[in-house]
A and B are shown apart, each in its own frame.
Chain A
Amino acid sequence: MSVRKFNPQTLLLLVLFVILGAIALFPFYCLALASLKPSKELLRFGLNIKLQTDLLSWHNYSFIFSKGGAKYITWYKNSLVITAVYTVLCMLFSSMVGYGLAMYRFFGRNLIFFFVLLVMMVPIEIIMLPLYKQMIALNLIDTFSGVILPFVVAPLPIFFFRQYAAGLPKDFLDAGRIDGCSEYGIFFKIFVPLMTPAFGAMIIVQALASWNSFVWPLIVLNSGEKLTLPIGLSSLVTPYGNNYDILIAGSVLAIVPIMLVFVFFQRYFVSGLTVGGVKG
């Protein structure tokens, strides 16, 4: 396509968005650049945008994979475990609940749906104190279960699965019953496969939320070997900045998997993250 084919308005818009896109991606450049510079340099002079090729090296990355970065690797593993367990359980429970709300008419259905919407609105930060007390009472402080359990039946995916299931033909339900399938068999064998796109969107959104979550794990976890990636990284941020070697390269390694998933499953991100905007 040649430039002459564009009319002036298109060209103007393209210029605008190239600039905005560059601004949006600029901090990533800064992060990548900083991860290749020696931490002493960053401490003494701050981050210089100039490439300064003579200073660049992979040293910070090799440090993370050496003995000195052992705690970082532990945090990474913890985050992987928590994200995996959380996502699997969240998908199972929220698809069940969403399906139940969409497919059956039963006493209390509207009340339960009202609560789904209500829980979606209240920020968890507001109830974190009594929830913290609850965790102490249940003996779940400093455990992965304490991080996962309170939010594993999440209102947002429930809402999403309910909307999705409501759009599926109920005839399958009757057909399944006639064939002698149990109610649960109908759900697992017929409707779960039909909801695959909804699972795609929700797996990505919930895994991202869990991987990035901060406030709740900060409250629940306190021993060093149990921290998740965001909490561990934040513990390296001190007024003296003396942990730059792990901090910056570690931040890069924390976002790389997300970027890869984003590149391959972009459309799921878009449909999954705009859930609340869908008219109910």
Chain B
Amino acid sequence: MKWMYSQRLAPYLFVLPFVLSLTIFFVYPVLSTFIMSFQEVLPGQTHFIGWANYKNLWDESFYTALWNSSKYTFWTIVVLIPLPLALAVFLNSKRMKWSGFFRSALFVPALTSVVVAGIVFRLVFGSLDASVMNSIRHLFGFETINWLAGSTTGMLVLIILATWRYAGINIVYFMSALQSIPDELYESASIDGANTWQKFWRITLPLLKPISIYVITISIYGGYAMFTESFILWSGNRSPNDIGLTMIGLLYRHGIEKNELGLGSAIGVVLLTITMVINVIQLRLFGLFKKED
């Protein structure tokens, strides 16, 4: 056992758990996703079928799922970047009082599981006359609607749910970045005669760029990986006309519910490719790969 105590070997023993876990639960599954996507996987008689899974996956439900996931990702980014950024700037301003308390209040929804959040939103956006959102509509003279029956209102509920759960986390991200901006920058800008608005555009916003890129990147992966929200709101993986079907929902439907592991894997590969391409485009657009000038 003495060899275990050598200084040269010690680092390898420290990282061993990760290497094992990486091999068994990441590298192997990722590789087998690629392999299975070219196979028909049946108990005892798995065989290669070339590109057939990739040819077969372009049916109507695929386009619906891709469209839903893309819409969801798009709207969550449109709402969940500027809004938390502005709120973080407000909370961080010297004029604000009790900002720690308000930050916590806005953060609390992030503590709930998606399941519990979905259960609450089913109640709040219930289809009956007396349920919360419909009774608010009545105050403004609108009639009762069945929120989860239409694709537009259904998507709206998903976006509101996402905003409610994630705004607080993104505020915390932006606030931690804001707090790392040195005060001297603002002081010297004031001496040069810059007003608040100019300071925001010329100092704050450019210095928030790295954290914004990070938040956008995780939002793209998170948006396309959305599944549970829809699973709970529509009580299972089936919604009327698939209005709540997401890419992961489709993957789950083929891979787990119908046991078509090959086709499910092909969907997984396509999804991974889409999210990576969008992220590379996004990162290029925001100039992460550009050299600093």
How far does the alpha carbon of A49 sit from the alpha carbon of B124 in the complex, in Å? Answer: 9
Q: Is A270's CB under 8 angstroms from B102's CB?
A: no
Main secondary structure of the interface of B (DSSP, over half): helix
From A14, A30, A101, give the contact of B15 (CB < 8 A).
A101
Whether A254 contacts B116 in the complex (CB less than 8 A), given A46-B127, A277-B214, comes out as yes
Q: Is A153's CB under 8 angstroms from B126's CB?
A: no
How far does the alpha carbon of A27 sit from the alpha carbon of B121 in the complex, in Å? Answer: 8
Give the size range of B's interface with the partner. Answer: 35 or more
> Could you list which residues of chain B lie within 8 angstroms of chain A, going by C-beta atoms?
5, 7-8, 10-15, 17-22, 24-26, 28-30, 32-33, 36, 41, 87, 90-91, 93, 95-98, 102, 104-124, 126-132, 134-135, 164, 167-169, 172-173, 176-177, 210-211, 214-215, 217-218, 221-222, 224-225, 227-228, 231-232, 235, 248, 251-252, 255-256, 261, 264-265, 268, 271-272
Which residue of chain B has the shortest Cβ distance to A153 in the bound complex? B21
How far does the alpha carbon of A194 sit from the alpha carbon of B102 in the complex, in Å? Answer: 32
Main secondary structure of the interface of A (DSSP, over half): helix
Q: Is B108's CB under 8 angstroms from A25's CB?
A: yes
Give chain A nearest CB distance to B45 CB in angstroms: 15
From B109, B114, B176, give the contact of A24 (CB < 8 A).
B109
From A30, A187, A211, give the contact of B14 (CB < 8 A).
A187
Q: Is B119's CB under 8 angstroms from A237's CB?
A: yes
From B5, B102, B119, B255, give the contact of A129 (CB < 8 A).
B255
> What is the 8 Å Cβ interface bit string for chain A, positions 204-242, against chain B (1 contact, 0 not)?
000010011011000100000000001001100111000
Q: Please name all residues of chain B whose beta carbon is closer than 8 Å to the beta carbon of A27 when the two chains form the complex.
A: 109, 117, 120-121, 124, 164
Q: Please name all residues of chain B whose beta carbon is closer than 8 Å to the beta carbon of A17 when the two chains form the complex.
A: 90-91, 96, 102
Q: What would 6 more interface pairs be, CB under 8 Å, given A46-B128, A47-B132, A183-B5?
A: A96-B14, A97-B18, A104-B11, A125-B248, A248-B119, A262-B111
From B26, B97, B256, give the contact of A132 (CB < 8 A).
B256
> Could you list which residues of chain A lie within 8 angstroms of chain B, going by C-beta atoms?
6-7, 9-10, 13-14, 16-17, 20-21, 23-25, 27-28, 30-31, 34, 42, 45-49, 93, 96-97, 99-101, 103-104, 106, 109, 112, 115-116, 119, 121-123, 125-134, 149-153, 158, 177, 182-184, 187, 208, 211-212, 214-215, 219, 230, 233-234, 237-239, 247-248, 251, 254-255, 258-259, 262, 266, 269-270, 273-274, 276-277, 279
Q: Is B172's CB under 8 angstroms from A274's CB?
A: yes
Q: Is A219's CB under 8 angstroms from B29's CB?
A: no
| 3 smallest beta-carbon distances between A and B, as pairs | A100-B14, A46-B131, A46-B128
How far does the alpha carbon of A30 sit from the alpha carbon of B235 in the complex, in Å? Answer: 20
Which residue of chain A has the shortest Cβ distance to B233 in the bound complex? A237
How far does the alpha carbon of A251 sit from the alpha carbon of B113 in the complex, in Å? Answer: 9
